[in-house]
């Protein structure tokens, strides 16, 4: 599958709420494979959402610490326990920013064939899942920063 260019923060597709997938067909499987190829094309990549390659559908892929997979139409539940860790985004290359996220997450969705999938994650994988689901909702990780930090972040990417 072809590696796709990753859209940058200024791209309006990243601000749109992605549409639910309704057809579990060859096109969806090709999208998942393209997302996986794009994710694996660079070092240090842990997750990627379809809007980041310009496709406004609710699909994400992840690969971290020996766990990899994809979710179609994911819903996520998070724990109350929060942790602060540096976070980055492929749509803002080279920038890491401390951000508070839930330590534990459970994501439920479907695989590319329509079969139900549940991913339970702790720590960094939980962070990745939260980050990618945010992309599906048109939310960028900088949106979670306090106003002053958000201003500094956007100044750094411009």
Q: How long is the chain? A: 158
Largest Cα–Cα separation, the chain:
45
The answer to whether 132 is a known catalytic residue is yes
Query: How far is the C-alpha of 105 from the C-alpha of 127, rounded, in Å?
Result: 8
Residue 88: which of 127, 36, 60, 57 has the closest Cα?
Answer: 127
Given the residues 77, 132, 148, 149, the one annotated as active site: 132
Pair type for strands 59-64 and 67-78: antiparallel
Residues with catalytic function: 132
């Amino acid at each position: 599958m072809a590696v796709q260019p990753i859209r940058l923060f200024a791209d309006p597709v990243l601000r749109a709420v992605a549409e639910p997938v309704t057809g579990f067909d060859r096109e969806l499987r090709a999208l998942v494979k393209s997302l996986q190829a794009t994710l694996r094309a660079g070092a240090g990549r842990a997750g990627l959402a379809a809007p980041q390659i310009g496709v406004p559908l609710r699909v994400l892929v992840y690969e971290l610490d020996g766990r990899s997979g994809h979710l179609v139409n994911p819903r996520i539940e998070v724990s109350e326990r929060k942790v602060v860790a540096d976070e980055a985004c492929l749509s803002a290359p080279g920038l890491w920013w401390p951000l508070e996220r839930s330590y534990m997450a459970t994501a439920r969705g479907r695989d590319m064939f329509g079969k139900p999938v549940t991913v339970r994650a702790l720590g960094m994988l939980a962070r990745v899942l939260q980050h990618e689901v945010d992309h599906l909702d048109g939310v960028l990780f900088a949106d979670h920063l306090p106003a002053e930090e958000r201003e500094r972040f956007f100044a750094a990417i411009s």
